[in-house]
Amino acid sequence: MASHLLYLFLILNSFFILSASTATNTTITQEKTCPFESIYQFGDSISDVGNLIRKGPAGAKSYAARLPYGEAFLHRPTGRCSNGLLMIDYIAMALRLPLLNPYLQPFVPKDHGVNFAVAGSTALNSSFFMARGIHVPQSNSPLSLQLNWFRNHLKLLCQTRKDCEKRLQRALVFVGEIGGNDYNYAFFQGKLVEEISTYVPHVVRATTDAVEEVIGEGAIRVVVPGNFPVGCIPIYLTSFPNSNPNAYDDLKCLKDLNKFARFHNNHLKRALEKLRQKYPHVVILYADYYAAFLSVLRRAPHLGFEPSSLNKACCGIGGQYNYDGSRMCGHAGVPVCSNPKQHIHWDGVHLTQEAYRHMSEWLLHEILSKIKCVW
Ligand SMILES: *[C@@H]1O[C@H](CO)[C@@H](O)[C@H](O)[C@H]1NC(C)=O
Ligand SMILES: *[C@@H]1O[C@H](CO)[C@@H](O)[C@H](O)[C@H]1NC(C)=O
């Protein structure tokens, strides 16, 4: 009898330990209620896992095709603009799905989703920028092109429209982050914020058009990320120095540039609210990259980031922010910091794997608590 009781006690005990650990783990709890079968990603370098480096000779020469990019993941470049993994990789892992393969990589599995994001891409067509005297790379693969790829992919994936819809109903679709480059190209080519602000409705429209397109194909769970607080990013801090200390906030970020990012984000949030009314059966989530980044920056010392390097690139050289556009990470002779795990910024434009991991944890909590799984 005693041994039976002991046995029962052990079972109960392990049951409680188990349920206690699952209760605190959003990943596991969510996996039971929300069995996504695939992820589709549209976007730019924040989520490109290898499309740009496969896009012609120019792409193959891009920084993301060289070490030290990728050194923390496969010890070789994968096309990700970081030392290792990106947020979308961590999100796929949390949902117990394989990492997404890039659309342009042939002969790799694509049945659990595809990544269409291309580094450097804009939300708007290249013609929009040409008309305004702004140069965009020839490799630019705007949302309209990524959507063409998506439609081509669906043609191969499913036989009938109904079949496609069924698959997309069990998919999580990320439209973005996208739009950051639409502004980057303009800012770094000398356009004034007054003019760039007029692009915002166009960028947001292109983004919501893409959301409507994927909804039209059958998606019912769409995540739309906003822009980063660009005033905290070394490339912006280096390019727009300000001698007035009041131009910087308590986190040493440029206030006006962050204000511009919030302007875009607020516009996007309002547009998404309208989409929710138009498509009440679809869960449309705004992913707050702005808040996620600031949350990591504020908690940086507790998360193990080096307090003296919070706005300095890990891989880079020169200036106050360890960033020089003419000698970027990947160039011969440009050093890499000794402990990338203690840096938020990787190359002055993109973040380290460690920063992306923390951001994705913050975001997953947000996303999974709001996404309703009913099947
Ligand atoms: C949650 O579970 C995942 C997968 O098993 C694990 O990698 C992660 O560390 C866990 N997180 C917490 C907070 O326990
Ligand atoms: C962008 O270009 C694509 C293909 O070239 C075209 O179908 C689409 O209408 C264009 N979109 C806009 C907003 O101009």
For the stretch 147-167, pLDDT in tens is: 999 999 999 999 999 999 999
Cα of 28 from ligand 1 centre, angstroms = 8
Q: What is the mean pLDDT of residues 121-133?
A: 98
Residue 270 in domain: yes
For the stretch 224-252, pLDDT in tens is: 999 999 999 999 999 999 999 999 999 99
365 is written with which tokens?
């909590």
Cα of 144 from ligand 2 centre, angstroms = 6
Residue 230 in domain: yes
Q: Are strands 101-102 and 38-42 parallel, antiparallel or unpaired?
A: unpaired
Q: What mean pLDDT is reported for the chain?
A: 91
Residue 197 in domain: yes
Q: What is the mean pLDDT of residues 186-211?
A: 98
Could you confirm whether 21 is annotated as catalytic? no
Predicted pLDDT of residue 367: 87
The verdict on the CB of residue 27 being under 6 Å from ligand 1 is yes
Cα of 152 from ligand 1 centre, angstroms = 36
Predicted pLDDT of residue 151: 97
Residue 373 in domain: no
Catalytic, out of 38, 45, 47, 141: 45
3-state DSSP assignment of residue 294: helix
Residue 91 in domain: yes
For the stretch 168-195, pLDDT in tens is: 999 999 999 999 999 999 999 999 999 9
Choose one of 129, 130, 144 to mutate for the ligand 2 pocket test, by most ligand atoms within 8 angstroms of C-beta: 144
Residue 28 predicted with pLDDT over 50? no
Could you confirm whether 350 is annotated as catalytic? yes
Element housing 173 (H / E)? strand 171-175
Residue 352 predicted with pLDDT over 90? yes
Cα of 370 from ligand 1 centre, angstroms = 19
> Atom 3 in ligand 2: which residue has the minimum CA distance?
144
Predicted pLDDT of residue 366: 87
Residue 375 in domain: no
Predicted pLDDT of residue 369: 82
Residue 14 predicted with pLDDT over 70? no
Predicted pLDDT of residue 34: 66
The verdict on the CB of residue 189 being under 6 Å from ligand 1 is no
Residue 374 in domain: no
Predicted pLDDT of residue 53: 97
Residue 260 in domain: yes
- Give pTM, 2 decimals: 0.88
Cα of 141 from ligand 2 centre, angstroms = 12
> Atom 9 in ligand 1: which residue has the minimum CA distance?
25
Could you tell me the CATH number of the domain that includes residue 350? 3.40.50.1110
Residue 7 and residue 339: Cα distance in Å, rounded?
48
> Atom 10 in ligand 1: which residue has the minimum CA distance?
25
Q: What is the mean pLDDT of residues 343-350?
A: 98
Could you confirm whether 249 is annotated as catalytic? no
Instruction: Supply angle C-alpha 337, 323, 181, rounded to 5.
Output: 115
Contact 224, 173 (CB under 8 A): no
Name all residues whose Cβ lies below 6 A of ligand 2: 125, 144
Range of the domain at 264: 2-368
For the stretch 61-81, pLDDT in tens is: 999 999 999 999 999 999 999
Domains contained in the chain, number: 1
